């Protein structure tokens, strides 16, 4: 199943990398890779995440990071809606969906 990134989600991933890289470039690279791989794995296992608070969405907590991937499954596609810090993930996703 194809995984489509919204512009917003791609920007949030880039912003997260930039924020972490201010202090630790290597850690930022590792976090980026973990988040990207987790998102892309949804193409194989789209039901992997938990039901989201917003109807029709799902959320995947990315192991080894403090980030949550908000996504929606529609027809034969997984659409990545947002990449947000776990502690504010649910509230942020609600505002952006």
Question: What is the total count of domains within the chain?
Answer: 1
Distance CA 64, CA 30 (A): 9
Find the domain containing 92 and state its range: 3-96
Tell me, rounded to whole angstroms, the distance of Cα 33 from its chain centroid.
12
pLDDT given for residue 89 in this prediction: 46
- CB proximity list for 85: less than 8 A, separation 6 or greater: 16, 66, 67, 68, 92
pLDDT given for residue 88 in this prediction: 52
pLDDT given for residue 92 in this prediction: 47
CATH number at residue 40: 3.30.2310.20
User: What string of pLDDT tens digits covers the 97 residues of the chain?
Assistant: 999 999 999 999 999 999 999 999 999 999 999 999 999 999 999 999 999 988 999 999 999 999 999 999 998 999 999 998 986 544 444 445 4
Distance CA 22, CA 13 (A): 15
Q: Which of 62, 60, 57 is nearest to 48 (CA)?
A: 60
């Amino acid at each position: 199943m194809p995984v489509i990134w919204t512009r917003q989600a791609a920007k949030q991933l880039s912003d997260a990398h930039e924020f972490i890289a201010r202090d630790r470039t290597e850690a930022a690279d590792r976090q980026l890779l973990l988040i990207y791989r987790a998102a892309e794995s949804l193409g194989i296992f789209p039901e992997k995440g938990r039901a989201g608070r917003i109807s029709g969405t799902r959320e995947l907590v990315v192991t080894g990071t403090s980030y949550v991937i908000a996504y929606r499954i529609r027809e034969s596609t997984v659409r990545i809606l947002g990449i947000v810090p776990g502690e504010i993930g649910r509230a942020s996703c609600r505002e952006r969906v």
